[in-house]
Amino acid sequence: MSMIVRTNMKKFTVSLATVLLIASSSLALAAASEAEFKAAYAAAEAANKQAGSLRNQWTTTTAALAAAKKAADSGDFDQAVASSREAEALAKASIFQATSEKEAWKAIEIR
C-alpha cells in the first residue's frame, strides 16, 4: 500500500473518530422534545440520502435511524435525538469516505 493511501486512511480514521465523538458527547441538559427529535431525524435522513446519491450508505446509519424511530415511538425523545445525531454523524462520515476515496485510488501503485 502506498504512503499516500496510508496517509489518507489515517486522515479518514481520525476524521471519523472525531465525528463520532462529537455526536456521542452531545448530551442534552434538558429533556428533548418531539420537535427536537423530528429536526434531528430529518437532518440524519437528509445526510443519509446524500450518502445514497454517492452510492455509499452504511448499514450502521440505517440501524441508528431505526433505533431513533423506535425510541421516539416509545416516547424516549432523549434517546431518539441521540440516535438521530449518531445516524447523521455516520452518514456524514460515509459522505466523507466516498468523496475522499473518489481520488485516493489514483495514488495506489500499479505493479
Of residues 90 and 9, more confidence is placed in 90
Q: Alpha-carbon distance 10 to 104, whole Å? A: 12
pLDDT of residue 108: 78
Supply the pTM of this predicted model.
0.71
At a CB cut-off of 8 Å and minimum separation 6, what does 98 contact? Answer: 51, 54, 55, 56
Interval 21-51: pLDDT, tens = 565 555 445 688 999 999 999 999 999 999 9
Cell of 40: 434531528
Angle at 86 between CA 63 and CA 24, to 5 degrees: 135
pLDDT value at 54 more than 70: yes
Interval 57-99: pLDDT, tens = 999 999 999 999 999 999 999 999 999 999 999 999 999 999 9
Q: Alpha-carbon distance 99 to 97, whole Å? A: 6
